[in-house]
């Protein structure tokens, strides 16, 4: 299960594709979107969802985007013995050499998952957001996805929907 938190507008998304600690399926459930909650309240909701989808005898794995508000959510979950919590920082270096940052790796991980048969709910806004970014190569020949500021400058929707899907799908597969 993945968790993305956004301090701007205090929007949080919890996403899971199936019960259990590993994403093994090709269909992801729609996110649970929360508004105006603090880190402890979001962590409580994450635990509730984890219990709902847990498989008996399996400790659910929760991956949390730890930039900003998510750091507090991850801290709370790490001290709970009902789940295993791993923090993910998309500004870190990628774990695969062909990408500059983890953010770039997650973008292309989502693309591969979709090409391999993964499905997302029908949502025209999400589809537009997923198609918005371009990419280039850095001086070391690594893939670098267009920053959201540049997407906005081009008048394309940077949006939260795609960020949630990119990060959550990618976070699941790290």
For the chain, which domains are there?
2-173 (3.30.420.240)
**Between residues 98 and 120, the one the model is more confident about:** 98
Both structure tokens of 103: 């953010």
Quick: pLDDT tens for 111-154: 887 888 877 777 788 788 888 889 999 999 999 999 888 888 88
pTM, two decimals, is 0.78
169 has a pLDDT exceeding 70: no
- Tell me what the mean pLDDT of segment 89-108 comes to: 93
pLDDT for residue 12: 63
Nearest-angstrom CA–CA distance, 102 and 91: 6
In this predicted structure, the answer to whether residue 10 has a pLDDT above a threshold of 70 is no
| Residue-wise pLDDT tens digits, 34-62 | 778 888 888 998 899 888 878 888 888 88
- Output the pLDDT for position 157: 66
Q: State the Cα–Cα distance between residues 84 and 72, nearest whole angstrom.
A: 15
- C-alpha closest to that of 62 among 29, 90, 84, 38: 84
133 close to 151: Cβ distance less than 8 angstroms: yes
Q: What is the pLDDT of residue 166?
A: 55
The alpha-helical segments, DSSP class H, found in 25-174 are: 39-53, 70-78, 102-115, 124-131, 148-153, 160-173
pLDDT of residue 174: 53
């Amino acid at each position: 299960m993945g968790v993305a938190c956004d301090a701007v507008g205090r929007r949080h998304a919890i996403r899971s594709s199936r019960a259990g600690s590993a994403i093994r399926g090709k269909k992801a459930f729609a996110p649970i979107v929360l508004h105006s909650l603090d880190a402890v309240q979001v962590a409580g909701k994450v635990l509730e969802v984890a219990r709902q989808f847990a498989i008996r005898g399996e400790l659910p794995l929760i991956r949390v985007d730890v930039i900003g508000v998510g750091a507090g959510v991850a801290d709370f979950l790490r001290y709970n013995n009902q789940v295993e919590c791993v923090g993910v920082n998309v500004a870190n270096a990628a774990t695969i050499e062909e990408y500059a940052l983890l953010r770039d790796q997650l973008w292309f991980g989502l693309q591969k998952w979709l090409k391999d048969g993964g499905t997302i709910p029908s949502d025209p806004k999400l589809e537009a957001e997923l198609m918005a970014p371009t990419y280039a190569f850095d001086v070391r020949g690594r893939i670098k996805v267009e920053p959201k500021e540049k997407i906005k400058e081009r008048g394309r929707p940077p949006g939260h929907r795609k960020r949630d899907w990119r990060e959550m799908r990618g976070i699941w597969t790290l």
